[in-house]
A and B are shown apart, each in its own frame.
Chain A
Amino acid sequence: MLACANVAKTYETARGNVGAVKGIDLTIERGEFAAIIGRSGSGKSSLLAMIGGLSRPTYGTVSVEDTDIWALADDQLAQFRNRRMGFVFQFASLLPTLRIIDNVALPALLGQTRAVTDVYEAAAELLDQLGIGGYADAYPTEVSAGEQRRAVIARAFINNPIVLLADEPTSDLDQETEREIMDHFRAANRTRAMTLVMVTHNLSLAEKADRVLHIAEGRLVA
């Protein structure tokens, strides 16, 4: 289970403090697919970053499977992100100097719990499942945006996370690729019992979720 209690985020800027998220209480059950929608600047991405252990809340707590993640030390939190969470960002988040398969294997290698050969076998298998097995040795700039996004999904799956967080995962993709990506998300959500939290502007994508959370001006409104 994923729970936020009175979680808030205020950014300090030159023009004063800006409240991005203003005290949200939220619970998402294990295996649930939740979509977070809202206008630009409503606080969706900030909320997702706090849930994912990427941005420290100004106040409030975030618990994942009964672990208060923001009470963890820096290295423990890094390990938690590595082993329990998967991320798909809205930008092409592959390291350009590493091959596709190295990018996919990277979280598992950083985790340092599995043999290198096992990691690369798992990475190759994931790439096959996502239909880009033939590009394992290619560099990110040598493949299309859709193929890059599939590689990012493979990377998010490599450590079998319990939570997958996706921030506008299909924003720059065509409809066909968008549909394929969503199918992969849905399959992972169902077959791996992976909790899926997705931030999107796209209402038709949000409709595919089990629950839609609407944020406006930093507050949960529906």
Chain B
Amino acid sequence: MPNDSSIRFLLGRLALQNLGRRKPRTFLLLAAVAICSGAVFTGAVLMRSIESSMSVGFTRLGADMLVVPAGALTNITAALLTAEPTDLTLDDSIVGRLQALKGVQKVAPQLIFRTDASGYSRGGDMIDLIAFDPDSDITVRPWLEQHLHRPIREGDVIVGGRREETPGSEMLIFGRPLMVYGKLAKTAVGTHERGLFITFGTLAALRDAMLQICGTKAPLEPNKLSGVLLELAPGATTQQVRFAALANFAGIKVVSAESMLTSIRQGLAALLDGVLGLMVIMFVSTALMVSVMFSAIITERRRELGLLKAIGARRSQVVGMLLAEAGLATAIGGVLGCLVGVILMRIYEHSLVYYLDRMGVPFVWLDSRLVAVIGVLCVGLASLIGATGALYPAWRASRSDPHDLIRAEL
């Protein structure tokens, strides 16, 4: 019967017990790794949460730019949440070309059709049907206050914040029943607050009925858009994109949002990238510290390693034992760090959410499964860093003659 697992168990036990031999030093090592892992774990979770929250919060401030047909009326004092109803249109081929412009991060097309002939009986008012693309949208879904617990689909409608319909109710538009999927918060932008938002697919399904009732209208022609909302990439300026758009496309008008909001959004994106960089530096410095510490540990245990080699331990077994010891210690530190991180986040959760809410940013915690994945990654990374840090001193010790290792202690 082979005893491979038995020797691994014995060497593993040796590694574990070695950690217990110098308790203060092991404690310091665990504490250092725990602080680093905890900071990285907490930072990663908060960064991702804040990123999501900011994404929602700042998107609520509107797009950075709006591209509409030249001659279309626009409300330049309002946040850029939607285009205004107009008979002027753009060809939808502009979407891909705008996306290709340098400095453009996201492109969200919309088509608005204002009508009083929808047949929707409630008040018989004029309604604005606004088609949008849920996949590229940046100004509709961030404002969703209530919605059904499923993804939006064809046949759904999202109502503006000043409308009375509630999610789950039905609206008969151009003779076709639409399910109210969600309701937006109030935005103080008229078209946005009163609009009925549907997907381009739903609009296509309604088009025949709309043509029959309203006759041929420019927005109902195939492949047309009323406007395109743009979000800029970090570092890009509105002037740069405006000039590029005007130089490339004829018959358009470009409307910019207040530059301060764009700057804040871009600044935050850069800040979050900086935090990521700091985390990388922190992990690298921890690896160096572990390496220095294990150099000292190995120097202290040269006689023991020499003895193991003398009685027949192979180089791989010596290196494996030391790496297991380092990996185990740093993994334990990683687990402790993540646990402390979770506790700290729970403690500061209320104040953090409160302050962000005051700033108008709804705080969105990461999904608990994603938090668990980040935790596992942090522990794995901590263990890997421990093993990496110990690799060079372990490899050096394994190369030494057993007598040299033993003699150094005498």
Contact = CB atoms under 8 A, between A and B. Distances in A.
A109 interface: yes
A59 to B, nearest CB: 15
Contacts of B402: 49, 54-55
B401 A81 contact: no
A212 interface: no
Main DSSP-derived SS at the B contact region: helix
A81 B403 CA distance: 13
A54 B406 contact: yes
A95 interface: yes
B312 A111 contact: yes
Interface stretch (A61-69, A112-120, A179-187, A196-204): A112-120
A75 B315 contact: yes
A72 B316 CA distance: 17
Interface centre among B307, B308, B410 (most CB of A within 10 A): B307
B342 to A, nearest CB: 33
Contacts of A56: 401
B310 A97 contact: no
Contact of B314 (A78, A107, A159): A78
Given A82-B311, A87-B311, A109 B7 contact: yes
Contacts of B248: none
A102 B316 CA distance: 20
A176 B401 CA distance: 34
A91 B313 contact: no
Interface string B263-282: 00000000000000000000
A72 to B, nearest CB: 12
Nearest to A83: B312
Contact of A95 (B307, B314, B315): B307
B349 interface: no
A148 B308 CA distance: 17
B3 A95 contact: no
Interface of A: 46, 49, 52, 54-56, 74-75, 78-79, 81-83, 87, 89, 91, 93, 95-98, 102, 106-107, 109-112, 114-117, 119, 155, 159
30 contacts: A49-B403, A54-B306, A54-B310, A54-B406, A74-B315, A75-B316, A78-B312, A79-B312, A81-B312, A83-B312, A87-B311, A89-B307, A89-B406, A91-B409, A91-B410, A93-B307, A95-B14, A98-B10, A98-B14, A106-B10, A107-B311, A109-B6, A110-B7, A110-B317, A112-B3, A114-B3, A115-B1, A115-B3, A117-B1, A119-B3
Interface of B: 1-4, 6-7, 10, 13-14, 17-18, 20-21, 303-304, 306-317, 401-404, 406, 409-410
